[in-house]
Amino acid sequence: MSRILEMMDPLVRRLPEIPKPQRKVNLKEKVLWTGIALAIYMIMAEIPMYGVPFFQEGYEEFFFYRVIFASKKGSLMELGIGPIVTAGLIMQILAGSKLLNVNMSNPKDRGLFTGTQKILAIVMTAFEGIAFLLGGSYGNPNMFVSGLIISQLIAVGVIVLLLDEMIQKGWGLGSGVSLFILAGVAQQVIWLTFSPVGPLADGKSLGAILAFFQTLIGGGDIISAFSRYPYPDMTGFFAMLLVFFIAVYLEGMKMEIPVAYAKYGGMRAKIPLKFMYVSNIPIILASALFANFYFFGQMIWQNFNPTNSNPWVNWFVMLGMEANARNPLPGSLLYYLTPPRSLVTVAEDPLHAVLYLLILVGFSVLFAKIWVEVSGMSARAQAEQLVNAGLQIPGFRRSPAIIEQILNRYIPSLTIISGIVIGLLAGFADMLGAIGSGIGILLSVGIIYQYYQILAKEQLAETYPGLGKFLGQE
């Protein structure tokens, strides 16, 4: 299938592209461009699409998927970064399974791989937009309005791709995908904690903190402030804080491998291997997979099983019949791919909670192993990088095979353990109804930590320009 990349070359060359900066971009300018990209995203998230109702009454049950995809219902950011993440998921699986032979150390192959991923992201934007249309998410628009909706989604999808590319190519800090996820999670956490919208069905405001004080002032049952599913409650608020601090603690855990610089008289140093070796990538990919199962399942249900009477479809998807409660029903695969969002729902169906947790952890470990192989984080790739950098492990010959053998004592175990831990943490947080979702909190912690490292590196490079090349900057 490597010829597929070569066949895509003519299309890749015609794609809009952000050029790399031809000069050194200082930190202030990078912060400026990052802020501009974030402002464009936030503005698009507030502009309604033509032909689509922007506001929806009630509480959106599956807004947690929108947190992951940095999307907002009815706005130009309806799909958010979903198509980009989905395209990346597909390409990583193809590369990891060797169905797509690509040499990431070859600039041409890497460029074709990235370009093909961009094309796939645009295709996925159109595909997901059509799926939303067929699934009834936009009502029953005529052909003209339907065409306008798809056109708007594709245009915004290209803009998001370019914003992400602009930041990653050195004009900004980090990546657009991470930036938009962090903004979306922060917005949701603040909104669901302090939102004054209401009164809702329980007579309180949407925000967990406001609802808690309303209960205290009104002399109501204090327990009700800790259990008000499907609305945010204090259990979810404290669960959010707990998961946040656990994630921060895990981010700081690492083991260190001693190395020596052969060119500098054997000067010693240490290379850290993080306990969370694969970071949050596996949970992003697993969440993207589950979210796409839900969205496409909704489309299939709408068109082929609206009464839950088709036995050929029921095994995959059955949804609630109420207009405002399109929840997956027990007995379908989609039900077990959807997390229980409170302790009440866990108590009502413990089997659902157990199976969901096992499936989530299983996919998290699977994607962790795939990601390590395709991203250059495997023991073999790390050993080659150390040798090429002139490093060796004290007491051993400077050989990639020997260093790989030593790293194999740690990296495979760290890959599996970090995949399990990140899956368990996200799953339990969801079961406690953590505000912002367990996955959203974990992603936020990882992204904040990433930006902390990036800013520290940029400031160090500006203070000591001679260190720029040593830190990997051009």
- For residue 361, the model assigns a pLDDT of 92
Q: Is pLDDT above 80 for 417?
A: yes
- Could you write out the DSSP letters of every residue in 160-221? HHHHHHHIIIIISSS-HHHHHHHHHHHHHHHHHHH------TTSS-SSHHHHHHHHHHHT--
Determine the Cα–Cα distance for residues 372 and 412; give it in Å rounded to an integer. Answer: 9
Q: What are phi and psi of 154, to 5 degrees?
A: -65, -45
Cα separation values, 223 from 205, 213, 234, 342, Å: 16, 12, 9, 14
E strands, 235-385, are: 254-261, 267-274
- For residue 338, the model assigns a pLDDT of 84
Amino acid at 245: F
* pLDDT tens readout for residues 160-176: 989 988 988 888 888 88
Q: To the nearest 5 percent, what fractions of the chain are helix, strand and coil?
A: 60, 5, 35
- Is residue 438 within 8 Å of residue 430, measured between CB atoms? yes
What is the band of 63 on the pLDDT scale with cuts at 50, 70, 90?
low
- Is residue 259 within 8 Å of residue 386, measured between CB atoms? yes
Mean pLDDT, residues 40-66 taken together: 70
* pLDDT tens readout for residues 371-408: 887 777 777 877 777 777 666 676 666 677 777 787 78
Mean pLDDT, residues 187-201 taken together: 82
Vertex 283 angle, CA 409 and 372, to 5°: 35
Determine the Cα–Cα distance for residues 319 and 295; give it in Å rounded to an integer. Answer: 12
Determine the Cα–Cα distance for residues 357 and 181; give it in Å rounded to an integer. Answer: 23
- Is residue 76 within 8 Å of residue 44, measured between CB atoms? yes
Mean pLDDT, residues 354-377 taken together: 86
CA atoms in the 13 A half-sphere facing the CB of 40: 18
Amino acid at 435: I
Determine the Cα–Cα distance for residues 395 and 202; give it in Å rounded to an integer. Answer: 68
Residue with tokens 């999808």, as numbered in its chain: 157
What is the band of 57 on the pLDDT scale with cuts at 50, 70, 90?
very low
Determine the Cα–Cα distance for residues 328 and 314; give it in Å rounded to an integer. Answer: 10
Mean pLDDT, residues 96-101 taken together: 69
- For residue 394, the model assigns a pLDDT of 67
- For residue 226, the model assigns a pLDDT of 83
Q: Is pLDDT above 50 for 59?
A: no
- For residue 273, the model assigns a pLDDT of 80
**pLDDT-wise least confident of 143-157, 218-232, 428-442:** 218-232
- Is residue 308 within 8 Å of residue 291, measured between CB atoms? no
- Tell me if residue 376 falls in helix, strand or coil: coil
Strand order in the sheet with 391-392: 267-274, 254-261, 391-392
Determine the Cα–Cα distance for residues 182 and 123; give it in Å rounded to an integer. Answer: 25
Mean pLDDT, residues 141-158 taken together: 89
* pLDDT tens readout for residues 223-273: 877 888 778 888 888 988 998 899 888 888 887 777 766 665 556 667 778
Structure tokens at 187: 């917005």
Mean pLDDT taken over the chain:
80
What is the band of 62 on the pLDDT scale with cuts at 50, 70, 90?
low
What is the band of 356 on the pLDDT scale with cuts at 50, 70, 90?
very high
pTM beyond 0.85: no
Q: Is pLDDT above 60 for 426?
A: yes
Bridge pairing between strands 391-392 and 254-261: antiparallel
Structure tokens at 366: 């699977």
Q: Which domains does the chain have, with CATH numbers?
A: 1-194 (1.10.3370.10), 233-445 (1.10.3370.10)
